[in-house]
């Protein structure tokens, strides 16, 4: 269906692909993986024809339609979200546009002399529109948007007034409604809450076309893909299986390659030792020459390429009192919308609460109340004695000084710390070598999130309040963060749409629903087992 035959590609001095080959067959669901900057987005652009390969060819079977979702959604304004989505629905949207133009022409008195031709054409176009199930298009567009978390008001409102994250959902909905023969989805799980993520997962599981996607959400990837193509060091390697199988197989391959490398190195050392020992003796000249030639012909085994993953270890946090934070009879409204009426909630030492709830249920508001970023309309929020709080909010990334470098930002925050200690901290959060000299204004969303996390965790608080801490983080950084927080001995209150993060780190669940607030002992895994669903309002 789509074949990559011996492609090579270079961006500036960086070589992305060297005679790499892979294929996407009809109905396959493929995960595209590789370190940041390996060329995943470039590969997508080459398949769609936006960029040519330097060498080799990309062959797409005749008639195959491709839908490509990227993080760069472009400008959207002046139309409703539902109209924007319907406009991307392929041939049916073009027919719909002609139908609207003909309806306008029939109402135009200046075109009365053309009316017979217009009416005939209108009948033909209307018939084609019915064949393409066009009259169901509005309903299907609304169904997709609802699945991605849109309210009716948002669907019909001007798409230009939506935030960047919601515009991304509109762009994704366009591709999903189009249902092309092949979908290329670059990080579709970004900017989605848990409910939308699970809806998208179910949609893609039921999609009968071919799919190639990247995602930093391990659980999402594992549930959808049945084949993995890895980009590493310019090559494309295909693994048949889900993401978990790929990880196991890759680790096994690395182990075997390391063993082969070590065996060959031992053999080479032995041969070289013989050559060095006897090269000056005429009696051994033939043997020495023979072994030199043998060494020249040997195919050298390369050691496996090591993925750099640095572990972050928490310095011990000071112990807090038993009562970490207490909310009593809290009322909170925004305008006419009531978020909380008489909420009572308490976090005690070493409890790790994850907060679940549909859009607008008040998850972020609860975290803001606890962190003191907003005040209750009535009631009290009391932080306990000896509590040192660390609050990660999405807007924290906007507060970084754009002109400071990463290292200067860390130095300013921790003037007493040594340079070596700060460089180690930077390295743990993915800033190695010259990366520490980058100015904050040029950092990507993921880099900003990592820097804010480093600032918060270096001098450890004993109470972490985290609002979607894994947004923008790649899989390796998420794994590092989960491993570090698993060893953390303080208390936590957090919102996340990453199910691995939820399952690994929570020991309490607070569920916010329209019917009220529910508390569950045990973590997210126990919550799913007890309720039969992965998020409020969703049945599994």
* Torsion sign across C-alpha atoms 415, 419, 421, 422: positive
Joined tokens for residue 58? 């990309």
Q: Percentage of residues in the chain with pLDDT exceeding 70?
A: 98
Q: What's the pLDDT at 530?
A: 93
User: DSSP letters of 151-204?
Assistant: -HHHHHSBGGGS-HHHHHHHHHHHHHHH--SEEEEESTTTT--HHHHHHHHHHH
Q: Which tokens is 305 given?
A: 């390429």
Rounded Cα distance, 437 and 311, in Å:
22
CA dist 499 and 220 (Å) reads: 9
Runs of H (alpha helix) within 279-435 = 285-297, 363-371, 406-413, 419-428
Would you state the pLDDT for residue 540?
45
Nearest to 453 by CA among 423, 485, 491, 417: 485
Other CB atoms within 10 A of residue 340 CB: 23
Residue pair 213/224 in contact (Cβ under 8 Å)? The answer is yes
355 CB-near residues (< 8 Å, 6+ apart): 363, 366, 367, 493, 494, 495, 510, 512
Show the tokens assigned to 513. 């629903």
- CA–CA separation, 128 and 221 (whole Å): 38
Those residues of the chain that have pLDDT short of 50 are: 540
How high is the pLDDT of residue 47? 95
Residue 330 confidence (pLDDT): 95
- Going by their DSSP bridges, the two strands 352-357 and 508-513 should be labelled as parallel
Q: What is the pLDDT of residue 310?
A: 61
Q: Give the model confidence (pLDDT) of 324-375 as tens digits.
A: 999 999 999 998 889 999 999 999 999 999 999 987 789 999 999 999 999 9
Q: What is the pLDDT of residue 203?
A: 96
Burial class (CB in 10 A: 0-12, 13-18, 19+), 92: buried
Other Cβ atoms closer than 10 A to 283:
7
Q: If you search the block for the tokens 């041969």, which residue do you land on?
A: 271
The pLDDT value recorded for residue 514 is 84
Question: Which residue is it, tokens 């996340």?
Answer: 496
Strand partners, 210: 182
90: which 2 tokens? 């392929």
DSSP 8-state secondary structure symbol assigned to residue 514: T
* Separation between Cα atoms, residue 470 and residue 431, nearest integer Å: 17
Q: Which two tokens stand for residue 138?
A: 């509005």
CB 364 within 8 A of CB 496: no
Coil, helix or strand at residue 254? helix
Q: Give residue 467's pLDDT.
A: 93
What is the model's pLDDT at position 372?
94
Q: 35: helix, coil or strand? A: coil
Cα angle value 41/45/50 (rounded, 5°): 150
469 near 445, Cβ under 8 Å? no
Report the C-alpha gap between 147 and 351 in whole angstroms. Answer: 33
Quick one: three-class SS letters along 400-446?
CCCCCEHHHHHHHHCCCCCHHHHHHHHHHCCCCHHHHHCEHHHCCHH
DSSP symbols for 115-148: HHHHHHHHHHHHHHHHHTTGGGHHHHHHHHHHHT
């Amino acid at each position: 269906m789509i074949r990559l035959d011996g492609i090579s590609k270079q961006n500036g001095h960086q070589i992305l692909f060297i005679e790499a080959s892979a294929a996407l067959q009809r109905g396959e669901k493929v995960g595209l993986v590789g370190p940041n900057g390996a060329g995943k987005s470039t590969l997508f652009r080459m398949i769609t024809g936006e960029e040519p390969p330097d060498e080799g060819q990309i062959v797409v079977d005749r008639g195959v339609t491709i839908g490509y979702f990227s993080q760069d959604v472009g400008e959207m304004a002046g139309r409703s979200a539902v109209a924007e989505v319907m406009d991307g629905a392929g041939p049916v949207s073009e027919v719909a546009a002609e139908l609207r133009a003909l309806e306008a022409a029939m109402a135009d008195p200046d075109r009365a002399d053309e009316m017979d031709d217009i009416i005939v054409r209108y009948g033909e176009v209307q018939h084609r529109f019915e064949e393409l199930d066009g009259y169901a298009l509005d309903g299907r567009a609304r169904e997709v948007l609802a699945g991605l978390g849109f309210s009716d008001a948002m669907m019909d409102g001007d798409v230009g007034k939506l935030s960047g994250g919601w515009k991304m959902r509109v762009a994704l909905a366009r591709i999903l409604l189009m249902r092309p023969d092949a979908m290329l989805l670059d990080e579709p799980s970004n900017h989605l809450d848990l409910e939308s993520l699970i809806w998208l997962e179910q949609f893609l599981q039921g999609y009968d076309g071919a799919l190639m996607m990247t995602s930093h959400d391990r659980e999402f990837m594992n549930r959808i893909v049945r084949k993995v193509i890895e980009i590493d060091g310019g090559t494309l390697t295909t693994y048949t299986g889900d993401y978990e199988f790929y990880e196991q197989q890759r680790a096994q391959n690395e182990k075997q390659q390391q063993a082969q490398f070590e065996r060959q190195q031992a053999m080479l050392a032995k041969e070289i030792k013989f050559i060095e020992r006897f090269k000056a003796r005429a009696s051994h000249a033939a043997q020495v020459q023979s072994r030199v030639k043998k060494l020249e012909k040997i195919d050298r085994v390369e050691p496996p390429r090591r993925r750099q993953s640095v572990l972050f270890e928490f310095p011990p946090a000071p112990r807090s009192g038993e009562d970490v934070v207490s909310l009593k009879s809290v009322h909170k409204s925004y305008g006419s919308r009531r978020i909380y009426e008489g909420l009572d909630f308490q976090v005690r030492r070493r409890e790790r609460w994850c907060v679940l709830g549909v859009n607008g249920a008040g998850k972020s508001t609860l975290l803001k109340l606890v962190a003191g970023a907003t005040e209750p309309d009535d009631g009290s929020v009391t932080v306990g004695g000896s509590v040192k709080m660390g609050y990660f909010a999405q807007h924290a990334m906007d507060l970084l000084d754009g002109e400071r470098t990463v290292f200067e930002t860390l130095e300013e925050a921790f003037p007493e710390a040594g340079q070596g200690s700060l460089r180690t901290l930077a390295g743990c959060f993915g800033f190695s070598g010259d990366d520490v000299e980058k100015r904050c204004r040029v950092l990507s969303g993921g880099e900003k999130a990592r820097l804010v996390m480093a600032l918060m965790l270096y001098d450890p608080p004993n109470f972490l309040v985290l609002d979607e801490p894994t947004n923008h983080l790649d899989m390796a950084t998420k794994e590092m963060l989960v491993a570090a927080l698993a060893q953390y001995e303080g208390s936590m209150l957090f919102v996340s749409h990453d199910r691995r993060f939820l399952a690994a780190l929570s020991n309490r669940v607070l569920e916010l629903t329209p019917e009220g607030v529910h508390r569950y002992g045990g973590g997210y895994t126990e919550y799913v087992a007890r309720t039969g669903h992965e998020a409020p309002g969703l049945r599994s």
